[in-house]
Structure 1
Amino acid sequence: MNYQEFCHQLIELVGGKENIQSVTNCMTRLRFKLKDRSIAKTEEIKDLPDVIDVVSNDVAYQVIIGTQVQDIRPEMNQILGLSGENVKSESGEKEKFVTMALRILSEAMGPILTPIMAAGLLAGILSLISLSGLVSAESSTYLILDAIRQSVFFFLPVLIAISFSRQLGVNEYLAVVIALTLMSESINGAKGLDFLGLKLPETTYSNSFFPIILSIIFMKYLTKALEKIIPKALQYFFNPVLILIITLPITLILFGPLGTYIGDGLNFVFDFIGNTFGSWSVVMLYAALQPFLITIGAGNFIIPIFMNSYATLGYDPVFTAAWIISDIAVCGAVMGYFFRSKDKKQKQLFGTTAFSAFMGVTEPAIYGVFVKYRRPYIAVMIGGGLGGLFAGLMKVVGYAPVGLFGLASFIGKDNYSNFYMMVIAVIIGFIGAGIAAFVLGIPDDDKVKEKQAVSVETGEEAVTKLLVKAPVKGTNVALSKVNDKAFSSSALGKGLGIEPEEDTIYAPVDGEVVSLFPTNHAIGIKTEYGVEILIHIGINTVELDGKHFESFVKQGDKVSAGDAILKANMAEIRNAGYDPVVITVITNTADYLDVLPSNDPSLNNEEDCLTVVV
C-alpha cells in the first residue's frame, strides 16, 4: 500500500470516515460525497504533497491528484471498507439508483468510445477512397468494410452491456444475452407484441441508448436479491435463468419505454435550445468552456448526451465538433505560449503539452499550463468560442465521436460542405487561441500563485518535465507491442521498446544506479528528482544467466547521460532464440502527470525517447 499514509491524512482532513458517504474517481481526481462539506479542511488538503488542487461544487467534493489516482482509490476503498462500486445513498432507493446511473455513465463510456471512434475513422477513410474513385461505394469491398461501421452502431447495446456489466459487477455474459435478445428480429422494432396478455410498446432497441443501461442496473439488484432468497446449493443452476426471465420482460415493459422517453427528452431539450437560441450557442459555449469543465471535473457530463444523439439521430449536432475545436484551441493556446516564451524549460513544457493536446490528450496542458498560468483559459474561450460559433452557424454535425485525426468522418455520406466548414472551424480555433495566448502573455513566475511541482526527496522546486534519452540506437517499438505482458500492459510503468542496432547500452539520464541484476540484463537508475528508470534488455533473457552481458557500472555508482553502462551481444542473444528488444520504462509513472514516448521511428542515444511530465 504505497499511499496508505496519504489516504489516512486525506480521510482525516475531509472529516473522517463518518463524513464520507461515497468516493469515486475519474482519470485525475477523487470525487467525495460528504455529509458536511463545511468541516473539510480544504486548504490543508491542498498542501498535501500528492494534491494538485481541490474543487468543491455541485458535482462533488473533488480532490485533483493526477493519474496516480488509479492506484490511490483501491487503497482508499480498503481503508474505508467500501465495495468496488463505492455506492452509498443518503436516503431512499430512488436517489441511490439515479446516483449509480450517473456515475457509471462516465466510468463505463471510455472502452465503448474506442470501437465507435474506430468506426468513425473508417467512415471517413471510406468517404475519401470513394471520392478518389479507387473503390466504388457500390462495390463489395466498400460494403464489407462499411459493415464494420454499421455493426458498431447497430450493436451498440451489446457494447454497452459488456462495459456497464463490468463496472457494476454483473455477469457480463447474461448482460450480453439480454442485449442480443433485445436486438433480435422478434423484438427489435417489432409491432403488436404482448407478454402474458400485456401489450408491449414498439421499441427499436438498436437506436436506443438507455434501456440496456437500466436493465443492467436492475440486474445488479436482482442478482443480490436472488442470492439472499435462493439456497446457495441451487444458485448456480437457477439464478442465471431467473435473472434472464425476470429482467427481459421488465425491460420490455418498463425500461424500453422509459429509456426511449429519456432519449427523446434529451433530443427535445436540444431542439428547444436550437429553435429558441440557436444550436450555435451551445457549440460556441462548450468549445469555449471545455478546459474549465475538465478542471472542475464536469467534462464527462456530455457523454450520455452525444451518445444518445448518435443512437437516435445517427449524428451529433453539437458536442463532437465543439470538443475537437476546443482541443485544438488548447493546442493553439499552448503553442502561443511556446512562441512567446524565451525560457528553455518553459518552451519544453509548452511544446510537449501542445503536442499532447494536438493528439487529443489535453490534460497535461490543462493541469501543467492552464491551472498554473490561468490566462490560457481566456485564450481558449476566445479561439474555441470563435471556432465553435462558426461551426454552429454553419450547422456542422459529427457522424462519429472522433478526434482531430478523424476529421474525414465529418464527410459522412458525401456531405463535403460539412467537412469543409469543420476544417475552417478548427483552423479558426487554433489560430484564434494561439494569437490570444501570445497577446495575453505569460505571467512572471513570482506572480504565479499556483503550487509548483516539488521534488519528493528534496522539497525544492523541481523541473516541470524530464527528458529521457534513448539507451541504445535502434527502431522505436510501442510498449504495447512488446512480447511481455508485464511490460506491454504498462503494469511496470509507461515507456517504450527499442529494437537494438548496436550492443552498447548508455545511461539515458543523470542519476544513480539503484539496482543492477546479477545477470546484468537489467538496470535501474534514479534521477535527483526521483524519477525511477528501468532498462531491461530482452525478453526472458534472465534465463541466459548473464551470458552475453557485461556491466561497466555497479550499484551505487553515479552516471551521466550518455555514459556506457552495459554491453550485450545482441547477435548472440538472437542466436540463442531470445528477443533482444531493449525496454525502457518509468517504474514510478504514477508519481507524475504523464509519461510520453517519442513518435520517432528510429532513435539513438543522443535523442530523447521519453518525456516525464511532472
Structure 2
Amino acid sequence: MEKYNQLATDIIANVGGKENIISLAHCVTRLRFNLKDEALANDEVLKNMDGVVTVMKAGGQYQVVIGNHVPDVYKVVREQAGISDESDAAAIGKKMSFKDKFFDLITGIMMPSIAILSASGIIKGLNTVLAISGVYTMDSSYYMLINAIGDAMFYFFPVILGYNTARKLKSNPILGIVIGAALCYPTINGVDLGFFGFNVNATYTSSVLPVILIVALAAPLERFFNKVIPDVIKTFMVPMLVMLIAIPLGFIVIGPVANLIGVLIGEVINSIIGFSPIIGGLIVGASWQVLVLFGVHMMMIVPSMMNVMSGTPDTFMAMISVVSFAQTAVVLAIWLKTKNQKLKNIAFPAWISGIFGVTEPAIYGITLPRIKMFVISCIGGAVGGAVAGFFNLKVYTMAGLGIFSLPGFIDTEAGSMTGVVQVCIAIVIAMVISFGLAYAMYKDDAVAEPVAATEKVSVKKEVLMSPIKGSVMPLSQVADDAFAQEVMGKGLAIEPIEGKVYAPCNGTVMTVFPTKHAIGIISDNGCEILIHLGMDTVKLDGKYFESHVVQGEKVTTGDLLVSFDLEAIKKEGYSMETPVIITNTADYLDIIPMNSKNILAGSEMLTLLI
C-alpha cells in the first residue's frame, strides 16, 4: 500500500488537515469524511487530483470518490491521520440537520459490514449453484459447511450491527456485541416467553432494527451509570446494569416494535410496487443511479436487506440489480466509439468495475460529465426495472453486486433457476437499449479548426445583460455541485452587492418560484434563462424576497424582476452566490461569458453563439 502514501497525504492536506477530520469511513468507492469545517476543504484540488474521481457532499458527509481501491487508500489515510477505532464518530463542533445526522448514523452502522455481507452472499449463491448443478447435494457435508460459512454473517448480523452501532454512538463496542449475541441466543428465539401476564414470541436472528434501537438505548444508560457509579466498582457494575435493563426491555418491548416497523416498511414498499410492478420498476430503475450519485442509496436498500435476511423475497432489490448493467453498457458504447485515447483508458476499467456492480467510476468519470450519456443510462435502467417488474422478479438470498447478484435470484426452496433466466433477460434488454442509444448519440467533443483569413463565417449571436450588480465567478466555484458541474446548463455566477434583479433580455417570465428565490425567463429569441438567488435560500420560504412580476408577463431588458434584503439573508447564514444558467445550452454552438471580475446590472454578461 506504499503506492498510496502520497495520495493519502494529499487528500488529508486538502480536506483541511488531520485536525479537521472528525471521523472517516468508507463504502465501495468513497472515503466518507465528517469534517469540522467543510469550507477548509479544497474541492477543486481534490477533484483534479490523480487517483480521485470526484468530490460529493451528501448526508452530512464530505465524500471523496476513489474507486475500487478505496479500502487500501482508506487504511493509509487512517494511519497518516492518526484515526483510531476510538476516534470520535460523532460530528463534534459541527452543526448537522436531523436528516444529515440520521443519514450519517445509518451509513456509519451499515457501511463497515457491506463488503463482508456481499462476500457472504456470493458464497451462499455459489453454494446453491453447485448444489443445483449436481456437484454435491443439499444434504451433503460440503453443502452444510459452505452454507454455514456464507450464512454466519446473516444469522449473527445483530452481533455485527451491535458492535458497529456501539462504536458509532461512542459506547463500549464489546457491550454492543453482547447485546447482539443475547438477541441471537437460540433458546429464547421463536419460543413463547411469558412476562407479567403477556406472551412474547420473537425472532431476532438475521434482524437489523432491533439491535440498533436497543444499543441506542444502552449508550445513554452507559453514560449515565458511568457518571453516578463510583470508580472502584464501575468497571463491572456499569455493563451489568446496562445489560440487565436494556436487553430485557429491548427483547420484550423494543424488539417486537422494531420488527413490526421493519415489516411495515417492507409492506409499504412492496404495496407501491405491487400496485403496478411495471410502473414501480420504471421509477425505481430510472432513479436509482441518481440516489447513488448523491450517496444516499443505502437508506433505500436497508428495508430490502431486512426482508431478505428475514426470509422474505424482495422485489425492490431485484429491480435495482438490473440498473448497473445499463450504466456499463453506456460506458462500453463510449469506449468502442470514442477516438479520445485518454477517455478510452479510463472507460475500460470503469466498464470492468461496473460489471461487478461498482458504478461510481463510470458515473463520475465517464457519463455524468457527458450528461446526455448519464440520462441514457437512466433510461436503460428504467426499462430494465420495468422488465423486472413485469416478471415479478424477487431476490431470495443476499448475494453480491453486478454479475455476483445473479445467484440471489435462485429460489432455493423450489430449486428453481427461473428467476436467474428472467433477470438475465431484463439485463440484456437494459444493456441493448442503453448501448444502442449511447452508440448512436455519442460524439467526441469537437476540436475547433482554425478558420482561414479569407473564409467568411456567418454566426448568429444573442447577448444577455447582467441581471445583478456584483462580482463574477465561474460556475465551477459555486458551492452546489448541480450548478458547478453544469448539470443544468452553462452560464456563470454572480455574488450580488445590491438586492435587485433585472431582466437580462426582452422576453417572457416562464416561472416564478413560490419561494421567490428563483425565476425563469425565455427570451424573444428562444434562450431559456434560470436565475437562482443564493444557495439553499429555498429554505427561507420567500422571507426577505419580493417578486415584481408574475408568470406569463412580458418584460423588457432592465425591468425589475425581484428585490431582496441582501444583508438580512446573509445574517441568516445563507450564501447569495447567484447562478445565471442557460438551461437550453444544447441549442447553442457556444456560450461565452464576459471577461471581467465585476459587473454592473444591464452590462453585457453572456454571448450566445447560435
1:416 corresponding residue in structure 2: 417
Residues 245-297 of structure 1: per-residue CA shift (max 9 Å, x gap): 12112212332122112202212211320332x23434333333333222222
When residues 99 and 217 of structure 1 are mapped into structure 2, their CA distance, relative to the original with a 3 A threshold, is: farther
- The code of the aligned residue for 1:85 comes to A
Residue 53 (structure 1) shift: 6.4
1:85 corresponding residue in structure 2: 90
Q: After the TM superposition, which of the residue ranges 138-147 and 374-383 deviates more from structure 2? A: 138-147
Q: Does 1:391 align with 2:396?
A: no
When residues 173 and 396 of structure 1 are mapped into structure 2, their CA distance, relative to the original with a 3 A threshold, is: same
* Equivalent pairs, count: 426
- Could you tell me how far apart the structure 2 residues matched to 1:237 and 1:32 are? 33
Question: Which residue of the other structure, out of 304, 309, 312, is the alignment partner of 1:311?
Answer: 309
5 Å-filtered alignment, 1:199-238, equals: 199=198, 201-238=200-237
Identity fraction in percent: 21
2:346 corresponding residue in structure 1: 349
Q: Does 1:434 align with 2:435?
A: yes
- Could you tell me how far apart the structure 1 residues matched to 2:15 and 2:155 are? 44
- Could you tell me how far apart the structure 2 residues matched to 1:264 and 1:323 are? 20
1:141 corresponding residue in structure 2: 142
Q: Does 1:168 align with 2:169?
A: yes
- Could you tell me how far apart the structure 2 residues matched to 1:161 and 1:380 are? 38
When residues 340 and 153 of structure 1 are mapped into structure 2, their CA distance, relative to the original with a 3 A threshold, is: same
1:363 corresponding residue in structure 2: 360
Residue 136 (structure 1) shift: 2.3
What secondary structure, in the 3-state scheme, does the structure 2 residue paired with 1:193 have? strand
When residues 401 and 113 of structure 1 are mapped into structure 2, their CA distance, relative to the original with a 3 A threshold, is: farther
- The code of the aligned residue for 1:222 comes to L
Structure 1 unmatched ranges of 5 or more: 12-16, 453-614
Q: Assess if the C-alpha contact under 8 Å between 2:34 and 2:61 holds in 1.
A: yes
Q: Assess if the C-alpha contact under 8 Å between 2:213 and 2:254 holds in 1.
A: yes
1:158 corresponding residue in structure 2: 159
Residue 210 (structure 1) shift: 0.4
1:110 corresponding residue in structure 2: 111
When residues 178 and 198 of structure 1 are mapped into structure 2, their CA distance, relative to the original with a 3 A threshold, is: farther
Residue 138 (structure 1) shift: 3.1
1:377 corresponding residue in structure 2: 374
- The code of the aligned residue for 1:251 comes to G
Q: After the TM superposition, which of the residue ranges 159-168 and 65-74 deviates more from structure 2? A: 65-74
When residues 356 and 317 of structure 1 are mapped into structure 2, their CA distance, relative to the original with a 3 A threshold, is: same
Q: Assess if the C-alpha contact under 8 Å between 2:286 and 2:379 holds in 1.
A: yes
- Could you tell me how far apart the structure 2 residues matched to 1:69 and 1:126 are? 32
Question: Which residue of the other structure, out of 289, 295, 298, is the alignment partner of 2:296?
Answer: 298
- Could you tell me how far apart the structure 2 residues matched to 1:143 and 1:438 are? 47
When residues 89 and 259 of structure 1 are mapped into structure 2, their CA distance, relative to the original with a 3 A threshold, is: farther
When residues 346 and 392 of structure 1 are mapped into structure 2, their CA distance, relative to the original with a 3 A threshold, is: same
Q: Assess if the C-alpha contact under 8 Å between 2:156 and 2:206 holds in 1.
A: no
TM-score by length of 2: 0.61
TM-score by length of 1: 0.60
Q: Does 1:188 align with 2:185?
A: no
When residues 115 and 126 of structure 1 are mapped into structure 2, their CA distance, relative to the original with a 3 A threshold, is: same
- Could you tell me how far apart the structure 2 residues matched to 1:5 and 1:148 are? 41
- Could you tell me how far apart the structure 2 residues matched to 1:317 and 1:47 are? 40
Q: Assess if the C-alpha contact under 8 Å between 2:407 and 2:420 holds in 1.
A: yes
- The code of the aligned residue for 1:104 comes to L
When residues 426 and 173 of structure 1 are mapped into structure 2, their CA distance, relative to the original with a 3 A threshold, is: same
1:244 corresponding residue in structure 2: 243
Q: Assess if the C-alpha contact under 8 Å between 1:284 and 1:389 holds in 2.
A: yes
- Could you tell me how far apart the structure 2 residues matched to 1:2 and 1:262 are? 44
5 Å-filtered alignment, 1:457-606, equals: none
1:487 corresponding residue in structure 2: none
Residue 392 (structure 1) shift: 1.4
Structure 2 unmatched ranges of 5 or more: 1-8, 449-473, 478-610
Residue 300 (structure 1) shift: 1.9
When residues 193 and 184 of structure 1 are mapped into structure 2, their CA distance, relative to the original with a 3 A threshold, is: farther
When residues 7 and 451 of structure 1 are mapped into structure 2, their CA distance, relative to the original with a 3 A threshold, is: same
Residue 323 (structure 1) shift: 3.3
- Could you tell me how far apart the structure 1 residues matched to 2:199 and 2:94 are? 33
Residues 530-552 of structure 1: per-residue CA shift (max 9 Å, x gap): xxxxxxxxxxxxxxxxxxxxxxx
When residues 372 and 275 of structure 1 are mapped into structure 2, their CA distance, relative to the original with a 3 A threshold, is: closer
What secondary structure, in the 3-state scheme, does the structure 2 residue paired with 1:103 have? helix
Q: Assess if the C-alpha contact under 8 Å between 2:88 and 2:170 holds in 1.
A: no
- Could you tell me how far apart the structure 1 residues matched to 2:75 and 2:283 are? 31
- Could you tell me how far apart the structure 2 residues matched to 1:134 and 1:280 are? 37
Residues 312-340 of structure 1: per-residue CA shift (max 9 Å, x gap): 34332212x33332222221111010111
Residues 143-166 of structure 1: per-residue CA shift (max 9 Å, x gap): 333333444333221232233333
Residues 417-474 of structure 1: per-residue CA shift (max 9 Å, x gap): 1110011112222222222211221351679x9979xxxxxxxxxxxxxxxxxxxxxx
- Could you tell me how far apart the structure 2 residues matched to 1:347 and 1:173 are? 49
Q: Assess if the C-alpha contact under 8 Å between 2:124 and 2:151 holds in 1.
A: no
Q: Assess if the C-alpha contact under 8 Å between 1:104 and 1:167 holds in 2.
A: yes
1:400 corresponding residue in structure 2: 398
When residues 349 and 3 of structure 1 are mapped into structure 2, their CA distance, relative to the original with a 3 A threshold, is: closer
Q: Assess if the C-alpha contact under 8 Å between 1:189 and 1:204 holds in 2.
A: yes
Q: Assess if the C-alpha contact under 8 Å between 1:270 and 1:279 holds in 2.
A: no
5 Å-filtered alignment, 1:12-51, equals: 27=27, 28=30, 47-50=44-47
- Could you tell me how far apart the structure 1 residues matched to 2:186 and 2:26 are? 38
1:265 corresponding residue in structure 2: 264
- Could you tell me how far apart the structure 2 residues matched to 1:88 and 1:309 are? 37
- The code of the aligned residue for 1:217 comes to A
Q: Does 1:179 align with 2:176?
A: no
Q: Assess if the C-alpha contact under 8 Å between 1:120 and 1:401 holds in 2.
A: yes
What secondary structure, in the 3-state scheme, does the structure 2 residue paired with 1:148 have? helix
- Could you tell me how far apart the structure 2 residues matched to 1:224 and 1:3 are? 35
Q: Assess if the C-alpha contact under 8 Å between 2:329 and 2:431 holds in 1.
A: yes
When residues 205 and 8 of structure 1 are mapped into structure 2, their CA distance, relative to the original with a 3 A threshold, is: closer
When residues 69 and 334 of structure 1 are mapped into structure 2, their CA distance, relative to the original with a 3 A threshold, is: same
Residue 380 (structure 1) shift: 1.0
